[in-house]
Amino acid sequence: MALVIPAPATTTIPVAGGGEFPVRRIFCVGRNYADHVREMGGDPDREEPFFFTKPTDAIVPNGAEVHYPTKTKNYHHEIEMVVAIGKGGKNIPVAQALEHVFGYGVGLDMTRRDLQQEAKNMGRPWDLSKGFDNSGPCSELHPAAKVGHIEKGAIWLEVNGKVRQTSQLEKMIWSVPETISYLSDYVELAAGDVIFSGTPDGVAAVVAGDKLHGHVDGLTDLKITIV
Ligand code: MN
């Protein structure tokens, strides 16, 4: 079949040790750390997880300069562990969910917080507050086959050398296996899908010139600069 325009490029994330992980879809978990639920004015009782998505080309490589986005005056960081799916499936049991994980990375769910608040107030979708250009910086992925499954340890973000967010992965309300299982009841997961697993408290605004340094124990640190 002849394509009438050039096919879009496949977004990839480099893999530590070699190779590139092709990205199919990006799912993000909302409100997955109780302290962040509270700071956003919510009730951290264990409500069902919910998801939103970003386009695959939201991915930005480690070390990049990220342009401050248009149409916002409140551009926020959300440090998150990223889970890359290597084997698809639907209705995946929690006990088998980690078998579907290729590896892990450090990501930022960058957010136009003012647009998100307006969307919440008006009952509108979050797409343009969450799924805009360059809204998903992500470090190299580390294969679970090499580093194991990342289920506990520190997650933090510094901006210009000062700690903004710091927490522990084990504080996630929904664990990675639970999240995969739950999401796979809604969509058939496929190799190449990526899940941003939610952010701890401390989300705040950044401006041009800020240097962001994100960390999850056991993974490669993510560093980007806002320009
Ligand atoms: Mn998030």
14-226 has which CATH code?
3.90.850.10
Give the count of beta carbons closer than 10 Å to the beta carbon of residue 73: 9
pLDDT tens per residue across span 76-133 = 999 999 999 999 999 999 999 999 999 999 999 999 999 999 999 999 999 999 999 9
Work out the percent of the chain whose per-residue pLDDT is above 90. Answer: 93
pLDDT number for residue 47: 80
200 CA distance to ligand 1 centroid (A)? 9
Tell me, in angstroms, the distance from the centre of ligand 1 to residue 107's CA: 10
| 101 CA distance to ligand 1 middle (Å) | 20
Q: Is the dihedral of CA 97, 101, 106, 109 positive or negative?
A: negative
Distance from residue 42's CA to the centre of ligand 1 (Å): 14
Geometric angle at alpha carbon 13, from 105 and 6, rounded to 5° = 155
Distance from Cα 4 to the centre of ligand 1, integer Å: 36
Residues 187-202: pLDDT tens digits? 999 999 999 999 999 9
Structure tokens at 170: 């084990």
Give the model's pLDDT for residue 171. Answer: 96
Residue 145 DSSP class: H
* Ligand 1 center to 189 CA (angstroms): 20
- Quote the ligand 1 centre to 51 CA distance (angstroms): 9
Position 48 scores a pLDDT of 87
CA of 170 to the centre of ligand 1 (A): 16
- Which region, left, alpha or beta, applies to residue 41 given φ > 0 means left and ψ of -120 to 50 means alpha? left
Report strand pairing: 101-108 vs 79-85. Answer: antiparallel
Report percent pLDDT > 70 for the chain. 100
Question: Ligand 1: distance of its center to the CA of 3 in Å?
Answer: 36
Whether the per-residue pLDDT at 46 is higher than 90: the answer is no
DSSP3 helix / strand / coil % (the chain, rounded to 5): 20, 35, 45
Distance from the alpha carbon of residue 46 to the mean position of ligand 1, in angstroms: 17
Q: With left for phi above 0 and alpha for psi between -120 and 50, is residue 73 left, alpha or beta?
A: alpha
Please report, for the chain, the start and end positions of each structural domain, with discontinuous segments joined by +: 14-226
Kindly state the DSSP code that residue 56 receives in the 8-state scheme. Answer: G
Q: Residue 136: pLDDT above 90?
A: yes
| Alpha-carbon torsion (149, 220, 152, 167), positive or negative | negative
Amino acid at 203: V
Regarding pTM above 0.85, the answer is: yes
- DSSP assignment letter at 172: B
Closest CA to 194 of 4, 62, 20, 22: 22
Ion ligand 1 — residues with CB under 5 Å?
A: 78, 109, 199
Separation of 115 CA from ligand 1 center, angstroms?
Answer: 14
What gap in Å lies between CA 93 and CA 76, rounded to an integer? Answer: 34
Ligand 1 center–CA 184 separation, angstroms? 19
- Find the 30 Cα to ligand 1 centroid distance in Å: 6
CA–CA distance, 68 with 191 (Å, rounded to integer):
31
